[in-house]
């Protein structure tokens, strides 16, 4: 078969339409992504992650540099980071596998401190939010009472004027 007998089955208009459709799909995707990124919640999440990372390093320092040494002193000079068990390796005779459970205990303590700090923070936020809501409700209630008093006064005045 010669090259001259093969005719490309390409319609220029269909190609242009396809290119335009592809461009529109990419544009729509990018617009949706831009909208997603510009939402406040995504930015708040990013800030939260950065602050969380910084908070984790503070908690790690608190645990490693203050709490664990104090706990070690209370428990008779135990350094938790060095606590480990050597278990015989059954695949290679004469060798041991070290299980560093002290590091695991330290990670658990870190987690508990972080969880407690988050609990206290959320509790504070909820109490503050509830106090604001309660204050707004009290102000609204007071406003409704004032409106009711005014409406009663108006009704009384209307009754008086209708009697005359």
Q: In this prediction, what percent of the chain has a pLDDT beyond 90?
A: 7
Q: Cα–Cα distance between 150 and 143 in angstroms, integer?
A: 11
Number of residues that this document lists for the chain: 164
Task: Answer yes or no: are the C-beta atoms of 56 and 113 closer than 8 Å.
Answer: no
Q: Please say if the pLDDT value at position 126 is more than 80.
A: yes
Quote the pTM value. 0.47
- Per-residue pLDDT, averaged over 105-117, amounts to 82
Q: Using an 8 Å Cβ cutoff, are 86 and 98 in contact? A: yes
- Domains of the chain, residue spans: 13-78
pLDDT in tens, 73-95: 887 877 777 889 999 998 888 89
């Amino acid at each position: 078969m010669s090259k001259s007998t093969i005719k490309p089955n390409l319609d220029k208009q269909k190609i242009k339409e396809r290119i335009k459709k592809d461009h529109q799909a990419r544009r729509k995707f990018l617009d949706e992504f831009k909208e997603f990124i510009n939402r406040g919640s995504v930015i708040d999440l990013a800030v939260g992650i950065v602050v969380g990372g910084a908070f984790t390093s503070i908690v790690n320092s608190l645990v490693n540099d203050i709490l664990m040494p104090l706990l070690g002193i209370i428990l008779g000079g135990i350094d938790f980071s060095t606590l480990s068990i050597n278990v015989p390796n059954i695949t290679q005779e004469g060798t041991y596998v070290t299980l560093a459970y002290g590091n695991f205990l330290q990670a658990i303590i870190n987690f508990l401190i972080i969880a407690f700090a988050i609990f206290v923070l959320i509790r504070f936020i909820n109490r503050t939010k509830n106090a604001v809501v309660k204050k707004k409700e009290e102000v609204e209630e007071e406003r409704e009472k004032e409106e009711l008093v005014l409406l009663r006064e108006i009704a009384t005045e209307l009754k008086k004027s209708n009697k005359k």
